[in-house]
């Protein structure tokens, strides 16, 4: 994520861990954008509805493509934690 952001954005950014469906996006008025995959775009759209109901500015939604391993399966932190994938498969 740091690599993607440093190549594509000149301004400051902060990466935050999401521990629930919304994270700080539902209430933090300083946020400007959210980066999601195609799989989670719907969550970002719902988040913007939640922000609107709280009179907060809509977040810009940046959609990035999934990264696939050599077998064509998506690379995810869950698969890495479950030892389903390692660096040789990328």
Q: Read off the tokens for 53.
A: 């109901």
| Boundaries of every domain in the chain | 2-89
CB neighbour burial string for 43-53, b if at least 16 within 10 angstroms, e if fewer? bbeebbeebee
What is the per-residue pLDDT across 39-86, written as a single tens digit (0 to 9) for each? 889 999 999 999 999 999 999 999 989 888 888 998 887 888 888 887
Give the pLDDT confidence score for residue 53 in this predicted structure.
96
Specify the pTM: 0.68
Token readout for 31 is 């946020």
């Amino acid at each position: 994520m740091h690599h993607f952001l440093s190549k594509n954005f000149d301004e400051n950014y902060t990466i935050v861990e999401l521990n629930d469906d919304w994270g700080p996006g539902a209430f933090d008025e300083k946020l400007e954008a959210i980066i999601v995959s195609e799989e989670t775009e719907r969550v970002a759209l719902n988040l913007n509805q939640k922000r609107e109901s709280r009179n907060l500015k809509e977040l810009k939604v940046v959609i990035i493509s999934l990264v696939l391993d050599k077998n064509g399966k998506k690379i995810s932190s869950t698969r890495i934690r479950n030892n389903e994938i390692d660096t040789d498969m990328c």
